[in-house]
Amino acid sequence: MTIRLALLVALILSIAPIVPSIAADNRADRFALVIGNAKYPDAESPLKEPINDARDVADELKRDGFNVEVGENLTGDAMRRAFDRLYGRIKPGSVVLVFFSGFGVQSSRQSYMIPVDAQIWTEPDVRRDGFSLETVLGEINARGAGVKIALIDASRRNPFERRFRSFSAGLAPVIAPNGTLVMYSAALSSVISDNGGDHSLFVQELLKEIRVPDLMAEETLNRTRVGVTRASRSEQVPWISSSLAEDFSFIPGSGARPPSAPPGPMATLPQPAPNPLPPPPRNDPLPPKIEILPPVDKPVEKSEGTQAVALADDPTIKSLTAKLADNPDDQSALYRRGQVYASKGAYNLAIKDFDDSIRLNPKDVEALNNRCWARTVIGDLQAALKDCNEALRLRPNFVDALDSRGLVNLKSGQAKNAVADFDAALRINPRLTSSLYGRGLAKQRSGSISEGDLDISNAKAMDPNIVKEFAGYGVR
């Protein structure tokens, strides 16, 4: 009897070391919400990757012990209900993961996940219809989750950001609670295009690394980052932020750790710093009298060469310039650098980049519209009108180009034509503040003072900064 008791004690002591790891790997307390949004009415065609990616990620997480809910092409109400269900399942110490693939937009230094029915024309619309990643992580943390993971594949060039006068491409850095691991599929404030396949490069590499047993989550994502960067030849560099306070592995194994990813490339990968860019320079509020500044050959700015040197060290411009040094015909990089230059007030530099972008793709209506707007600001009104007309020929009723052409006509003194363009834009989007304010100015100039005053008053109520914005375009 004594011998048997001794053997039993020895057996218990021999297995005791594995008990803590079993408790730490309580898979009943792993919860995931996986969303793939592909069918956005504002996009020219559905995205190819998000649905397949969401399904594959969900299947892998289920195999890893997560209780997974999958949502496809979710509206705002459906996304809200899905997040509420996730919040309701969380227990103290739970592992909670959110995966989102679709369109994302940054606004006020936060990143927003966009539902398929979002009506976004201005930055306030982003905050109204989108779902702030910081808010979601805060809600998860408030319910006691121990490990919080967000995997966001939303750094796509989207139809929303180009409606804003200020620069807003890509995603913003996240300020997350302790115990959080966040990964974006691309660097901060950068955008990528769907690769044309059924799955994104980011998800392909992510799933490859998640399936490695006994790999800590931080290392899983670091290896994913290396894999994406290598496969894309540094065209796509995912961004990671971690404040994990405890170890977590998607697939706990035998304790034998696989070799770490070679550290060399990790140390040299480019990580653009966050670079919220200001709108064009703004002057003091407009006086009641309306004045259109005469056209000028150049805006009031430093010479192009001096300004190019001054902006060369801007992290985003520097990264894009490096890309263009490797491939001068990178149309996406040209278009985006043009956006950055325009938002910095370097309009002539922006126009040069839009020139090259349009040379590579003469049917890029977004680049045509942006060049129209930049040319309008500097007073090159005939060329601007030609650009807007071409954009509208390629895409009739393109609301952004109608708004831009309205500004061209307003600055040209063609008040009736301006009213017609702004009217057309407002029929498509009655909340387009720039068109409402521009129509008010045009009506005043054409003699309809009271109607113009009403438009201006309504526009200022919707956006108190609209007066300063137009002053930055040279309209007084």
Render pLDDT for 202-222 as a digit per residue (tens, 0 to 9): 999 999 999 988 889 999 999
**pLDDT tops 70 at residue 101:** yes
Lowest mean pLDDT among 41-45, 217-221, 294-298: 294-298
Task: Express each pLDDT in 268-289 by its tens digit.
Answer: 333 333 333 333 333 333 333 3
pLDDT-above-90 percentage for the chain: 48
Residues 6 or more apart whose CB falls under 8 angstroms from that of 300 comprise: none
Q: In the Cβ-directed half-sphere of 464, how many Cα atoms lie within 13 Å?
A: 0
**pLDDT tops 60 at residue 260:** no
Quote the pLDDT of residue 342: 82
List the one residue out of 149, 10, 144, 22 whose CA is nearest residue 89: 144
Quote the pLDDT of residue 278: 36
Lowest mean pLDDT among 268-272, 315-319, 374-378: 268-272
Edge-first strand order for the sheet with 147-153 is 67-72, 30-36, 95-101, 147-153, 180-184, 239-242
Regarding predicted confidence, which is higher, 232 or 388?
A: 388
- Band of residue 267 on the pLDDT scale cut at 50, 70, 90: very low
Helix pair angle (381-394, 365-378), 10° resolution:
160
- Band of residue 410 on the pLDDT scale cut at 50, 70, 90: very high
pLDDT mean over 14-23? 37
Tokens representing 343 are: 């938002």
Quote the pLDDT of residue 66: 96
Regarding predicted confidence, which is higher, 168 or 211?
A: 211
Strand, helix or coil for residue 106: strand
Regarding predicted confidence, which is higher, 194 or 199?
A: 199
Residues 6 or more apart whose CB falls under 8 angstroms from that of 134 comprise: 110, 111, 174, 175, 176
pLDDT mean over 124-133? 89
Quote the pLDDT of residue 306: 67
- Band of residue 120 on the pLDDT scale cut at 50, 70, 90: confident
Q: How far is CA 140 from CA 86, 134, 423, in A?
A: 8, 10, 45
Asked if residues 27 and 174 have their Cβ atoms less than 8 Å apart, the reply is no
Distance CA 351, CA 338 (A): 7
On the 0-12 / 13-18 / 19+ scale of CB atoms within 10 A, 453 is middle
**pLDDT tops 90 at residue 420:** yes
Distance CA 362, CA 220 (A): 42
- Ordered by where they begin, the domains of the chain are 24-268 (3.40.50.1460), 304-472 (1.25.40.10)
List the one residue out of 131, 136, 142, 67 whose CA is nearest residue 104: 131
Asked if residues 236 and 183 have their Cβ atoms less than 8 Å apart, the reply is no
**pLDDT tops 80 at residue 4:** no
Tokens representing 66 are: 């997560």
Quote the pLDDT of residue 391: 92
Distance CA 427, CA 89 (A): 44
- Band of residue 256 on the pLDDT scale cut at 50, 70, 90: very low
Which of 294-303, 339-348, 418-427 is modeled with the greatest confidence?
418-427
Lowest mean pLDDT among 74-78, 243-247, 256-260, 353-357: 256-260
At residue 180, φ and ψ (nearest 5 deg) are -120, 140
Quote the pLDDT of residue 195: 61
Q: How far is CA 306 from CA 301, 310, 315, 404, 465, in A?
A: 10, 6, 18, 28, 30
DSSP, residue by residue, 363-430: T-HHHHHHHHHHHHHHT-HHHHHHHHHHHHHHSTT-HHHHHHHHHHHHHHT-HHHHHHHHHHHHHH-T
Regarding predicted confidence, which is higher, 168 or 279?
A: 168
- Band of residue 233 on the pLDDT scale cut at 50, 70, 90: confident
Asked if residues 153 and 206 have their Cβ atoms less than 8 Å apart, the reply is no
pLDDT mean over 161-178? 73
**pLDDT tops 60 at residue 422:** yes
Query: Can you name the residues that pair with 36 across neighbouring β-strands?
Result: 72, 101
Q: How far is CA 163 from CA 19, 343, 379, 448, in A?
A: 56, 13, 21, 28
Find the DSSP H helices in 232-314: 263-268, 304-311
Rg (CA), the chain: 26
Which of 21-35, 267-281, 291-305, 394-408 is modeled with the greatest confidence?
394-408
pLDDT mean over 420-448? 89
- Band of residue 253 on the pLDDT scale cut at 50, 70, 90: low
**pLDDT tops 80 at residue 400:** yes
- Its sign, for the CA torsion 16, 17, 20, 24, is negative
**pLDDT tops 80 at residue 21:** no
Regarding predicted confidence, which is higher, 166 or 121?
A: 121
Distance CA 300, CA 471 (A): 13
Q: In the Cβ-directed half-sphere of 185, how many Cα atoms lie within 13 Å?
A: 30
Asked if residues 124 and 72 have their Cβ atoms less than 8 Å apart, the reply is no
Distance CA 106, CA 118 (A): 14
| CA-angle at 184, arms to 179 and 189, nearest 5° | 120
Regarding predicted confidence, which is higher, 416 or 317?
A: 416
Task: Express each pLDDT in 351-360 by its tens digit.
Answer: 999 999 999 9
